A and B are shown apart, each in its own frame.
Chain A
Amino acid sequence: MRLRSLQFGVFAGLVLLWHILTTPGIVQPFFFDRDNQAAFFFGEPIKIFRAIIDWFVTGEIFVHLGVTLLETLLGFVIGATAGLGIGLWLALSDTASAVMEPYIKGLNSMPRVVLAPIFAVWFGLGIWSKVALGVTLVFFVVFFNVYQGVREVSPVLLANARMLGASQRQLLRSIYLPSAMSWVFASLHNAVGLAFVGAVVGEYLGSARGVGYLILQAEGTFDINTVFAGIVVLTIFALILDAVVGVIERRLMTWQPKAGVTEKV
Chain B
Amino acid sequence: MNDVPALALDDITCRFAGRDGGAPYTAVSHATLTVGAGEFVSVVGPTGCGKSTLLNVAAGLLGPSSGSIKVFGKELRIADGVNKRAGYMFQADALMPWRTGIENVIAGLQFRGVARAEALKQGEEWLRRVGLAGFGDRYPHQMSGGMRKRLALAQTLILSPDILLMDEPFSALDVQTRQLMENELLALWAVDKKSVLFITHDLEEAIALSDRVVVLSAGPGTHPIGDFRIDLPRPRDVSEIRMTPAFLDLHREIWGAMKEEVLKAYQQQKVA
Contacts and interface: CB of A to CB of B under 8 A. Distances in A.
Contacts of A167: 111
Contacts of B111: 161, 164-167, 170, 174
Highest count of chain A CB atoms <10 Å: which of B81, B84, B98: B98
B90 A164 contact: no
Contacts of B107: 161, 164, 166, 174
A163 B86 contact: yes
B59 interface: yes
A257 interface: yes
A208 interface: no
Contacts of A255: 97-100, 139, 141
Nearest to A162: B82
A160 B88 contact: yes
Please tell me the size bucket of the interface on B: 20 to 34
Interface in B135-171: 139, 141-142, 155-156, 159
A192 to B, nearest CB: 23
A178 B95 CA distance: 13
Nearest to A160: B94
A214 B76 CA distance: 70
Contacts of A48: none
Contacts of A159: 56, 59, 61, 88, 90, 94
A3 interface: no
Highest count of chain B CB atoms <10 Å: which of A156, A159, A160, A166: A160
Q: Interface majority SS on A: helix, strand, loop or mixed? A: helix
Nearest to A253: B98
Highest count of chain B CB atoms <10 Å: which of A156, A162, A165, A253: A165
Contacts of B98: 178-179, 181, 253, 255
A249 to B, nearest CB: 13
Contacts of A162: 61, 81-82
Contacts of A174: 96, 107, 110-111
Interface residues of A, number: 22
A20 interface: no
A63 interface: no
Nearest to B93: A156
A166 B113 CA distance: 10
B92 A156 contact: yes
Nearest to B112: A165
A257 B143 CA distance: 11
A181 B97 CA distance: 12
Interface in B40-88: 56, 59, 61, 81-84, 86-88
Nearest to B155: A164
B16 to A, nearest CB: 15
A254 to B, nearest CB: 8
Contacts of A78: none
Contacts of B87: 163
A165 B84 contact: yes
Contacts of B95: 160
Nearest to A258: B141
Nearest to B165: A163
Interface string A136-158: 00000000000000000010110
B224 interface: no
Contacts of B221: none
Interface of B: 56, 59, 61, 81-84, 86-88, 90, 92-100, 107-108, 110-112, 139, 141-142, 155-156, 159
29 contacts: A154-B94, A156-B90, A156-B92, A157-B96, A159-B56, A159-B88, A159-B94, A160-B88, A160-B90, A160-B94, A161-B111, A162-B61, A163-B61, A163-B83, A163-B88, A164-B155, A164-B156, A164-B159, A165-B84, A165-B108, A165-B111, A166-B107, A166-B111, A174-B110, A175-B96, A255-B98, A255-B100, A257-B139, A257-B141
